[in-house]
Chains A and B, each alone.
Chain A
Amino acid sequence: MINRKITILGPEGTNLYILLQFLLFSVISWFTLFSSIESIEFETTNILSRQIVFSLIGLSVFFLTTYLSIENLYNLINPLFILSISVLSGLFFTTPILGVRRWYDLEPIGIPIFIQPSEFSKIILVLFIAKILSQNSYKLIFIMGVLINLLLIFIQPDLGTTVLLLLVTFFMFFISDIKLRSTVLGLLIFFLLFFILLEMNFIGDYQISRITDFFSGDDFSQNQSRLSISSGGLFGTYFTNLQVTEVFVPVQTTDFIFSLFSRNFGFLGGFLLLSLWVLFFFRVNRIIKLTQIEFEKYLLSGLLILLGVQIFINLLTILGFIPLTGIPFPLLSLGGSSIFSTAIIFGLINRVFIENNIVV
């Protein structure tokens, strides 16, 4: 490996395209949240100031991640994975919030936020799978590790993230040379496990009712979010004089933020935002082709799949195609954990770019 000069913006500078995308998505999120606040005072309860602080911390997380070389990262994967499993297990000793054990509350140590460890464990899972695949060694213990990780999230319970990680795992195995048969078989085994757990009452009633409710009729919040998207029209209410009554959407600033975004910026806004993501995928895909290192190929593909599946689950949820999941839209939704984890993803991608000498 070449010895690189370390600069203030990471080694040999930073990939400006990745940085620009990160900043652009953050600013879009600020503008979206700006319309839903009543005052612009700077205080910890104000969602816009919270988000701006989160974004700025996210930016430093992005740069910090960039300092970690892929070689060092590769060697760190096993300890990180064990840490991730331990932190997820530790959740069982916390008091449930809203009936689930999903967060560590940092209020007692003076930071007014909740940390959601599954946000970070999903990146570590992608790293872990990328390592297994690039080593081409499918030891049983590794496969068991992946399964335990999924199970720990499954019994929090967090069905949305479980489905997300299941899909990511599936796609990552799919892009390797493993026979399609065994990948599909793995998926089937997991679904079997799901029904066994269901029989053993491991899954809360409300999760089941969420699913059955979905098939039995319309969900109120999804109906409202469709109305909210619709009310944006072609160009949105932000820059035009469109007079539309406000639509009430529950948790509109977090999981349902795309409905607020669409209302503000209309179809044009939505189209541009998603196009930015498509561009991002194209840009990263070029490096996947370019790099000679197997691990980097799996890593970049895995991260893209992770981002892509998150966006799809989020959009399909708020459009009412699938039941409520609680998956945020990366960099758009309000929330620290989601921003920090996406910042890490961007930082990792940035590092691979730099190690391949691509800075613009």
Chain B
Amino acid sequence: MFNQKRLKFTFVSFFILLVFILFDIFQLQTSEFLSSSEIIDQQNLDKFYITAPRGEIFDVNGEKLAESKLEPYLFLNMRKITSQNSSEYRQIIQYNFPELTTLEINEIFESKEILKLVTNLYSVEYEIRNNILNNFDAFLIIDLPVRSYIKNELFAHTIGYIGLPNQDDFNEFKNSLGNNQVGKNGLERYYEDYLSGIPGELIFLGSDIIDSKQPIPGGDLFLSIDSSTQYVTKESLQQGIDLANKSFESLNEIKRGASVVLEIETGNIVSMVSLPDFNPNKFVSGISDFEYKQLDRDQAFNNFAIQGLYPPGSVFKVVAYWLALSENIFPEGLSNRDSKVDCVGSLSFGFVDGSKQVYNDWKLEGHGKVDLTDAIKQSCNVYFWDIALNIWRNFGNTEGESILQEYSKELGFSKKTNIDLPFEKVGIIPDRDLFEEWKISRPGLVRDEGWLGGDLMNLIIGQGAITTTPLQVANAYRTLLTGENLSPTLNVNAEKIINNKINVSDEFISFLLNDLNTVTNKGGTAYVSFSILGNKANDIGGKTGTAQNAGDKNNTSWFVGVDSVSDPKYIIATVVDEGGSGSAVAAPVSRRIIQHLRKYELTPVKFGEITE
């Protein structure tokens, strides 16, 4: 039978025990509060952080590009070093690690840290390690990750590199303090929080470790880049730069360039190269000041694909091409894409204010009768100047005068593409407002009259104040061919962000592709560069560009390729800074990359033809 009395007895004894416990807690929190606080304050618990292994980085075929290998490091617990045993430990270190200098050993023993790094034990024999650990309790072995960039220079700008964090890094990335390393540039920085991992901890009470937390490794990154395409892109660009140096007399040595291969369907980056480059492994072991300054002088740390700002020249003409067909604005007197203007090699015109000007085309004898297709094919400036004049005469000094700039911005010019890389530059699309602003902020740069029709004529052929990055240009072409301005990405798992959509009809896209196709075929500006491929490659599209630079800088060489026009898969955008004519240098560089993409036999970059 259930005994209610005994249950009552049980609960009453529970209650008495509870009162006893509460009384003890009460005493702890009142009368012992102050003495406890004192003990707590004297308890200097210290944390020692252990760097977490960074996530590794792989290319599209699963090939490893950056790894984190754990290597054993010997540490000395400085709190266990006393004046009695210090000489003994010093002797052990001197005896076992003869490569350490007296200066370095002195530094160890003068250290104020809890745990002081002695040396890397990676190549030290197991017996020595064991002997040291077992007999001397101030020694401690901790496995620490070592970052290495397997492909050396090849991914210097995309993957970037790690370094010691500074105050700003501490504020921005919470794990950088404990890891004592942070991504400084490239993907290493953009995905710092994902790659870094969470540092482990050793908790010290005095000289004893009373608790530890294992570091949690960072996540791995999988890229859309293909290592072999990246390699060929770099090789071809370098050949292009060498070729330009050989072919042109340039005041400065030609060194800089960038090339990007963008997958049209996905917006994935297949390769991205910027030259000159550097070996990111040097940042892991520590780069010398001299070497750093030299690389910095060559601007090797810039990723010109997203940070190089160049006037785009004629590759920009597709913007006007799109505008002309969308708005039905053709050269004055023309009503459709098939009507022709007579290009006599120059354009002279008068403005409302009475001024008269003559603009000379790159081809002094003229292109003859030119329609829209011919204007792209032969890169005829006169045709596009005529469009600019038409815009200016109709809309000049009204709100509509910035229609070309609006179309440019729809394609992503003067905005970030928002690729998953840090420090992207945006470039400039000039207009009246900007010139007014510059009159105040940068006096002397623009005329007192401000924005004039001539500036619009410059803009329409990609000259003047306009600057763009190679990636912006590649992405603008992608936008025109797909109707959506998507952020390009390197990480295959990155979210695809649509910046904006544009209105392009299928008819327009096929017109554009056909017209770009004429450029690499007979009569086109890039024909010489591509004829080497023969008939099997007559379905490649592209646009050459040669942008003039201020001062005695050589022209900027541009080529934007579309492979192919029948099945558009890739956009290839190439820039050689001071590389001269686009059809002569940038076009054959792109041609060689396309040879690789199509698995054709590679032939060296050969000088094309000087056109624009």
| Complex partner residue of A176 from B3, B24, B174, CB under 8 angstroms | B3
Alpha-carbon gap, A294 to B7, bound state (A)? 13
* A50 lies within 8 A of chain B by Cβ: no
| Complex partner residue of A233 from B6, B29, B41, B43, CB under 8 angstroms | B29
**Residues A288 and B210 in contact, CB atoms below 8 Å apart:** no
Q: Which of A217-262 contact B (CB under 8 A)?
A: 220, 226-227, 229-234, 244-245, 247-248, 250, 262
Total contacts A-B at CB 8 Å = 105
Residues on A with C-beta less than 8 A from B216 are 45
Known: A244-B40, A248-B211. A267 touches B26 (CB 8 A): yes
* A330 lies within 8 A of chain B by Cβ: no
* A123 lies within 8 A of chain B by Cβ: no
Contact stretch, chosen from A4-12, A106-114, A308-316: A308-316
**Residues A177 and B1 in contact, CB atoms below 8 Å apart:** yes
Known: A176-B2, A289-B4. A305 touches B10 (CB 8 A): yes
**Residues B17 and A312 in contact, CB atoms below 8 Å apart:** yes
Residues on B with C-beta less than 8 A from A104 are none
Known: A176-B3, A289-B4, A298-B2. A230 touches B45 (CB 8 A): no
Residue in B closest to A298 when the chains form the complex, CB atoms: B2
* A208 lies within 8 A of chain B by Cβ: no
| Complex partner residue of B24 from A175, A227, A231, A319, CB under 8 angstroms | A319
Residues on A with C-beta less than 8 A from B7 are 175, 285, 288, 301
* B364 lies within 8 A of chain A by Cβ: no
Known: A175-B2, A316-B21, A319-B21. A285 touches B36 (CB 8 A): no
Known: A177-B1, A229-B29, A319-B21. A248 touches B205 (CB 8 A): yes
**Residues A274 and B22 in contact, CB atoms below 8 Å apart:** yes
**Residues A267 and B2 in contact, CB atoms below 8 Å apart:** no
**Residues B210 and A230 in contact, CB atoms below 8 Å apart:** no
Residue in B closest to A243 when the chains form the complex, CB atoms: B37
Residue in A closest to B18 when the chains form the complex, CB atoms: A274
Contact bitstring B9-28, A, C-beta under 8 A = 1, else 0: 01100110110011011101
* A171 lies within 8 A of chain B by Cβ: yes
Alpha-carbon gap, A122 to B294, bound state (A)? 72
- How many chain B residues touch A (Cβ–Cβ < 8 Å)? 35
**Residues A231 and B40 in contact, CB atoms below 8 Å apart:** yes
Q: Which of A162-216 contact B (CB under 8 A)?
A: 171, 174-177
* A266 lies within 8 A of chain B by Cβ: yes
Contact bitstring B23-58, A, C-beta under 8 A = 1, else 0: 011101110110011011101010000000000000
Q: Which of B175-203 contact A (CB under 8 A)?
A: 203
**Residues B37 and A244 in contact, CB atoms below 8 Å apart:** yes
Residues on B with C-beta less than 8 A from A174 are 6, 10
**Residues B10 and A171 in contact, CB atoms below 8 Å apart:** yes
CB distance from A229 to the nearest CB of B (A): 5
CB distance from A128 to the nearest CB of B (A): 16
| Complex partner residue of A245 from B29, B41, B205, CB under 8 angstroms | B41
Most buried by A among B1, B28, B43: B28
**Residues B37 and A248 in contact, CB atoms below 8 Å apart:** no
Contact bitstring A316-330, B, C-beta under 8 A = 1, else 0: 100100000000000
**Residues A308 and B14 in contact, CB atoms below 8 Å apart:** yes
CB distance from A313 to the nearest CB of B (A): 11
Residues on B with C-beta less than 8 A from A227 are 36, 39-40, 43
CB distance from B457 to the nearest CB of A (A): 54
* A58 lies within 8 A of chain B by Cβ: no
- In the A-B complex, the 3 residue pairs with the smallest Cβ-Cβ separation, listed nearest first, are A230-B36, A230-B28, A267-B29
Binding site for A on B (CB under 8 A): 1-4, 6-7, 10-11, 14-15, 17-18, 21-22, 24-26, 28-30, 32-33, 36-37, 39-41, 43, 45, 174, 203, 205, 210-211, 216
Binding site for B on A (CB under 8 A): 38-39, 45, 133-134, 136, 171, 174-177, 220, 226-227, 229-234, 244-245, 247-248, 250, 262, 266-267, 270-271, 274, 278, 281, 285, 288-289, 294, 297-298, 301, 304-305, 308, 312, 315-316, 319
- 18 pairs of residues in contact across A and B, judged by CB atoms under 8 Å: A39-B174, A175-B6, A175-B10, A226-B28, A231-B33, A232-B29, A234-B29, A245-B37, A245-B41, A248-B43, A250-B210, A262-B25, A262-B29, A278-B18, A281-B11, A289-B4, A304-B11, A319-B21
